Amino acid sequence: MRTRLLGGVAALIVAIIGTVLLITYVNAADSRALAGVQTEDVYVVQKAIPAGTPATSVGDYVSKKPMPKAAIPADPVTDLASLQGKVASVALQPGEQLLTSRFINPAAVTTPGRVAVPAGMQEVTLKLSADRVVGGDIAAGDTVGIIISFAKEDTLPAQTQMTFNKVLVTAVQLPSGALAQNSNSPSPQSSQGGSLGGGSSSSSSSGGDYLVTLARPASDVERIVHADLYGQIYLTKDPASATDSNSAPIDRTKVLR
């Protein structure tokens, strides 16, 4: 009985020693593989990093490891402090090297169907029917002209004018807030975001109305809101190649010549 007990203890000790030796051998495998190879310490993702993760939190997801220089891209992250103020532009998976090109300024991050608002501008949303938005052929990223028309009031004649040119569209939505989708093949511009056009499902669900968000300086936003409340607004498709309008307001005397 005692002999069997001693034999069992001896077998357990041998097993423990074998396990320790195996772990040591495996842990040294990377060192043996890199023997005689020029290496550099870089950050490697250990846990998946969601898109939009601030750089200040990235340290919880990565560890620094030596990598062969030949296998390191041109823009490795060697110091997490170099990413200060940025966020992950895409989701990063375990095993990936941390690259500076995968991090961007938070202002450059936009949700699907939207484009970034230029610095210094504000956004304003107009609810317009399809016949006032080029039949629905407008998408986030397009630029539009804004035609404002006022009816006759007291001694003021009815007037119409293309008041703004090259106005950036930052989003196009249905009244529910969902992105308006184009069932037709998107153009290069409209592929940037939701489009008004095309699909009968979009038209029927919205009742023919769309929410078009525009980016303009604050002083222009005031004028646009006033026109929306007391006049009528039409949008034109106004790409960079289109000629801008600089005409004065017109009435019927200038239309009927």
Q: Are residues 195 and 77 in the same domain?
A: no
Kindly report, residue by residue over 66-90, the tens digit of the pLDDT.
888 787 887 888 888 888 888 887 7
Pairwise pLDDT comparison (154 vs 34), residue with the higher score: 154
Overall number of domains in the chain: 2
Give the three-class secondary structure for 147: strand
CB atoms within 10 A of CB 138: 28
- Asked if 129 contacts 209 with a C-beta cutoff of 8 angstroms, the reply is yes
- The answer, yes or no, to whether residue 120 has pLDDT greater than 70, is yes
- The answer, yes or no, to whether residue 253 has pLDDT greater than 60, is yes
Q: Which residue has the tokens 């500076």?
A: 100
pLDDT (0 to 100) of residue 166: 93
Q: How far is the C-alpha of 146 from the C-alpha of 143, rounded, in Å?
A: 10
- The answer, yes or no, to whether residue 192 has pLDDT greater than 60, is no
* C-alpha 184, offset from chain centre: 22
Q: Are residues 102 and 227 in the same domain?
A: no
**Distances from the Cα of 209 to the Cα of 81, 109, 142, 202, 203, angstroms:** 48, 28, 19, 10, 8
Q: Are residues 92 and 216 in the same domain?
A: no
Kindly report, residue by residue over 6-22, the tens digit of the pLDDT.
666 666 676 677 676 66
**pLDDT (mean) for 106-126:** 82
| CATH code, domain carrying 92 | 3.90.1210.10
Domain hosting residue 241, numbered range: 122-255
Q: Are residues 129 and 247 in the same domain?
A: yes
